[in-house]
Amino acid sequence: MMNGTWKLRGLAVAALAGLLVPAGAEAQKLFAGDSFETSGGELKITFIGHGTLMLTYADKVIHVDPVSMYADYATMPKADLILVTHEHGDHLDAKAVAAVSTSRTVVAANEKAAGSLGGAIVMKNGDRRTLAGIPVEAVPAYNFEKAFHPRGNGNGYVLTFGDRRVYIAGDTENVPEIKKLEGIDIAFLPMNQPFTMTPEQVADTARSLRPRVLYPYHFGDTDTSKLVELLKGEEGIEVRIRQLQ
């Protein structure tokens, strides 16, 4: 929010432009991104693939669930902060984490994932910390009855950028803890049952969270048009579909 207006710009360029291509390296895959204005400056969100994202804000680079199958992390910008939601292989990749880490990088993860990442900070459900200058809250992420994602293990994360709150849910169903979150401006909600949510569950969660911008992610072969139709006419929620299969 700048001067009373909400602004978003679509980016059809490589994330951070030339920063993705080190000198002498071949061009990296182009990633789409969106840019938001906040009270602390511009926030850029780059859509890498599946549950993998990159955010930049106030000269800081944040990688969420970096995984090598979605990008060549040897050519990606080095991280100030890395967040890992849980230990499954499509979210935890120690090689990718190492590739974008420096001596100053802060890595935070749930307990099981942290055990595979030397020096990582353990964040448990409900923990709140300021990491690399960014306020971060760990939110429960789990399945109700299925064993894929047991309660008390995985995290989603709420990150605060100036006056904007971004929620990245991790692998979860529409559990009640999510619906208690307040002031979420941008939400990433997973949509690939039986592992996470159905379009109906995502819509149910969105109606409780009321994010200004909703991105379904981690959706595999799920028909995203179903979610668009479910939330059609839902005032104040803009559904944005990006390449995150």
Contact 154/148 with Cβ under 8 angstroms?
Answer: no
CB-based contacts of 31, cutoff 8 Å, min separation 6 = 14, 15, 20, 46, 47, 48, 54, 71
Please report, in tens digits, the pLDDT of each residue of the chain (245 residues total).
Answer: 333 334 444 443 333 333 343 333 444 568 999 999 999 999 999 999 999 999 999 999 999 999 999 999 999 999 999 999 998 888 999 999 999 999 999 999 999 999 999 899 999 999 999 999 999 999 999 988 787 888 989 999 999 999 999 999 999 999 999 999 999 999 999 998 778 899 999 999 999 999 999 999 998 888 999 999 999 989 999 999 998 86
Contact 32/12 with Cβ under 8 angstroms?
Answer: yes
**Rounded-to-integer distance, Cα 67 and Cα 88, Å:** 11
**Rounded-to-integer distance, Cα 80 and Cα 180, Å:** 29
Give the architecture-level CATH label for domain 8-15+31-239: 4-Layer Sandwich (3.60)
Give the pLDDT score at 192. Answer: 83
> 83 is written with which tokens?
């967040």
The DSSP bridge pattern shows strands 213-217 and 238-239 to be parallel
Half-sphere CA count of 161, side-chain side, radius 13 A: 26
Residue ranges covered by each domain of the chain: 8-15+31-239
DSSP tally for the chain: helices H, then strands E: 5, 15
- CA nearest neighbour of 45 among 30, 61, 21: 61
DSSP 27: P
Contact 7/36 with Cβ under 8 angstroms?
Answer: yes
Distance of CA 25 to the CA centre of its chain: 27
Give the pLDDT score at 238. Answer: 97
Give the pLDDT score at 138. Answer: 98
Give the pLDDT score at 245. Answer: 67
Name the burial class of residue 84, with classes exposed (0-12), middle (13-18) and buried (19+) by CB atoms within 10 angstroms of its CB: buried
Give the pLDDT score at 195. Answer: 82
Name the burial class of residue 24, with classes exposed (0-12), middle (13-18) and buried (19+) by CB atoms within 10 angstroms of its CB: exposed
